[in-house]
Amino acid sequence: MKLNQATDYAFRAVLYLSRLPRGEVVEARAIAEQEHIPIRFMLKILRMLTRAGIVESYRGVGGGYALAKMPREITMRDVVEAVEGPVYVNRCLIAPDECNKRNTAKCAIHKALFSIQQTINDKLEEYDFETLSKS
């Protein structure tokens, strides 16, 4: 499993917003410049984060973006899933009928991969942006 560049950018954008005073609205360009993210990617990422309910978008003069939740309520898993969708380490975990073994209940590989996936999800859940913003 490899997280894509957009997810890395999303982590950095959420972390940036987490460090601002609660409710402070900032333009996408400011986030992009501070985090060294191309503005066109930043806008795309902010749309994904807005759709996921992580970020709020404000239009008009003084508009921009702010967190929709408290930083402690946003985990790394939330951000990964907002950008990439659910975390799956193998296709048979998405659709068991695609398992080469055809019987996931008796497949040792499937069981091991399921356990690995669960560990990854648990670890991503463990890190919230309040904790990360204090690092």
Q: Domain of 77: which CATH number?
A: 1.10.10.10
Report the pLDDT value the prediction gives residue 109, as an integer from 0 to 100: 80
Task: Identify the three-state secondary structure at position 68.
Answer: coil
Confidence of residue 102 (pLDDT cuts 50, 70, 90): low
Report the pLDDT value the prediction gives residue 110, as an integer from 0 to 100: 80
Q: How many domains, in total, are found in the chain?
A: 1
pLDDT by residue (tens digit) across 7-64? Answer: 999 999 999 999 999 989 999 999 999 999 999 999 999 999 999 999 999 998 888 9
Report the pLDDT value the prediction gives residue 113, as an integer from 0 to 100: 87
* One-character DSSP codes across 22-60: TT--B-HHHHHHHHT--HHHHHHHHHHHHHTTSEEEE-S
Task: Please give the average per-residue pLDDT across 70-79, as a whole number.
Answer: 98
Whether the model pTM is above 0.85: yes
Domain of residue 93: give its range.
5-133
